Structure 1
Amino acid sequence: MSDSQTASASDLPRAWPFEEARKLADHVATRSSTGADERPALLETGYGPSGLPHIGTFGEVARTSWVRQAYTALTGRPSRLLAFSDDMDALRKVPDNVPQREMLQKYIGQPLSRVPDPFGTHDSFAAHNNARLCAFLDSFGFEYEFASSTQYYTSGRFDAALLRVLEVHDQILAVILPTLGPDRRATYSPVLPLHPHTGEVMQVKMDAIDAVAGTVRWTDPTTGEVFETPVTGGHAKMQWKADWAMRWYALGVDYEMSGKDLIDSVRLSGRICKILGGTPPAGLTYELFLDEQGQKISKSKGNGLSVEEWLRYAPPESLGQFMFNQPQRAKRLYFDVIPKTADDYLTHADKARALQVENPAGNDLRANPAWFIHKGSVPQDAGSPVPFGMLLNLASVANADTPEVLWGFIRRYDAAVSPQTHPMLAELVKHAIAYYADFVRPAKTFRAPDEKERAALVDLAETLRGFEGEAADASTLQNLVFEIGKRHGFEPLRSWFGCLYEVLLGQKEGPRFGGFVALYGVAETIALIDAALLRDTQV
Structure 2
Amino acid sequence: MTDALHTAAQISKAWPFEEARKIAKRFPGGKRDGAGNLVPVLFETGYGPSGLPHIGTFQEVLRTTLVRRAYETLTGGHPTRLVAFSDDMDGLRKVPDNIENKAVLEAHLGHPLSRIPDPFGTHESFAHHNNAMLRAFLDQFGFDYEFVSASDRYNAGEFDDALRNVLRNWQAIMNIMLPTLREERRKTYSPVLPVSPTNGQVLQVPVEVVDADAGIVRFEDVTGEVIEHTVLGGWSKLQWKVDWAMRWVALGVDYEMCGKDLTDSVTQSGRIAQVLGGRRPEGLIYELFLDEKGEKISKSKGNGLTIEQWLEYGSDESLSFYLFRDPKSAKSLHVGIIPRAVDEYWQFREKLPEQPVEQQLGNPVWHLLRANGYAGGEGDKLPVTYGLLLNLVGVLGAGASRDQVWSYLGNYVENADPAAHPALDGLVTRALAYNRDFIAPTLVRRKPEANEAQALMALDTALAVMSADATAEDLQNIVYEIGKNPDFAFETLRDWFKCLYETLLGSAQGPRMGSFIALYGVGNTRKLIAEALAG
What interval of TM-score do these two structures reach, taking the shorter chain for normalisation? Answer: over 0.9
The alpha carbon displacement at 1:495 in A equals: 2.8
3-state SS of 2:525 partner:
helix
Structure-1 residue corresponding to 2:106? 105
AA aligned to 1:371 is W
Structure-2 residue corresponding to 1:474? 472
Residues 37, 285 of structure 1: alpha-carbon distance in 2 compared, 3 angstrom cutoff:
farther
The alpha carbon displacement at 1:231 in A equals: 2.6
Structure 1, unpaired ranges of 5+: none
Residues 285, 493 of structure 1: alpha-carbon distance in 2 compared, 3 angstrom cutoff:
farther
Structure-2 residue corresponding to 1:198? 199
Cα separation, 2, equivalents of 1:305 and 1:16: 25
Structure 2, unpaired ranges of 5+: none
Q: Is the 8 A contact 1:190 1:238 kept in 2?
A: yes
Residues 132, 10 of structure 1: alpha-carbon distance in 2 compared, 3 angstrom cutoff:
closer
Structure-2 residue corresponding to 1:460? 459
Q: Is the 8 A contact 2:286 2:329 kept in 1?
A: yes
Cα separation, 2, equivalents of 1:369 and 1:377: 17
Q: Is the 8 A contact 1:383 1:425 kept in 2?
A: no
- 1:313-354: per-residue Cα shift (whole Å, max 9, x none)? 1221111112112222111111111111111111122223x3
Structure-2 residue corresponding to 1:487? 485
3-state SS of 1:237 partner:
strand
AA aligned to 2:181 is L
Structure-2 residue corresponding to 1:134? 135
Structure-2 residue corresponding to 1:365? 360
Structure-2 residue corresponding to 1:419? 418
Does 1:73 pair with 2:73? yes
Cα separation, 2, equivalents of 1:65 and 1:299: 25
After TM superposition, the structure 1 = structure 2 runs for residues 41-440 of structure 1, keeping only pairs within 5 Å, are 41-75=41-75, 76-220=77-221, 222-352=222-352, 354-355=353-354, 362-375=357-370, 376-381=374-379, 383-399=381-397, 401-440=400-439
The alpha carbon displacement at 1:447 in A equals: 2.2
Residues 269, 262 of structure 1: alpha-carbon distance in 2 compared, 3 angstrom cutoff:
same
Cα separation, 1, equivalents of 2:348 and 2:72: 22
AA aligned to 2:477 is N
Q: After alignment, is 479-488 or 60-69 more displaced?
A: 479-488
Structure-2 residue corresponding to 1:524? 524
| Aligned alpha-carbon RMSD (Å) | 2.1
3-state SS of 1:93 partner:
coil
After TM superposition, the structure 1 = structure 2 runs for residues 480-519 of structure 1, keeping only pairs within 5 Å, are 480-488=478-486, 489-519=489-519
Q: Is the 8 A contact 2:9 2:74 kept in 1?
A: no
Cα separation, 2, equivalents of 1:423 and 1:363: 30
The alpha carbon displacement at 1:89 in A equals: 0.4
3-state SS of 2:128 partner:
helix
Q: After alignment, is 122-131 or 376-385 more displaced?
A: 376-385
Residues 88, 326 of structure 1: alpha-carbon distance in 2 compared, 3 angstrom cutoff:
same
Cα separation, 1, equivalents of 2:168 and 2:103: 42
The alpha carbon displacement at 1:35 in A equals: 6.6
Cα separation, 2, equivalents of 1:229 and 1:445: 71
- 1:448-501: per-residue Cα shift (whole Å, max 9, x none)? 33333333323322222231x432212222233223222245444323222221
Cα separation, 2, equivalents of 1:377 and 1:223: 61
The alpha carbon displacement at 1:117 in A equals: 0.1
Residues 167, 513 of structure 1: alpha-carbon distance in 2 compared, 3 angstrom cutoff:
same
Cα separation, 1, equivalents of 2:262 and 2:322: 22
- 1:60-112: per-residue Cα shift (whole Å, max 9, x none)? 11111111111111111010000000000011111111121022101000000
Provide the aligned length of Structure 1 versus Structure 2.
524
The alpha carbon displacement at 1:7 in A equals: 7.3
AA aligned to 2:485 is R
Which TM-score applies when normalising by structure 1?
Answer: 0.92
Cα separation, 2, equivalents of 1:407 and 1:9: 42
Q: Is the 8 A contact 2:95 2:105 kept in 1?
A: yes
AA aligned to 2:95 is V
Q: Is the 8 A contact 1:166 1:209 kept in 2?
A: no
Cα separation, 1, equivalents of 2:314 and 2:307: 10
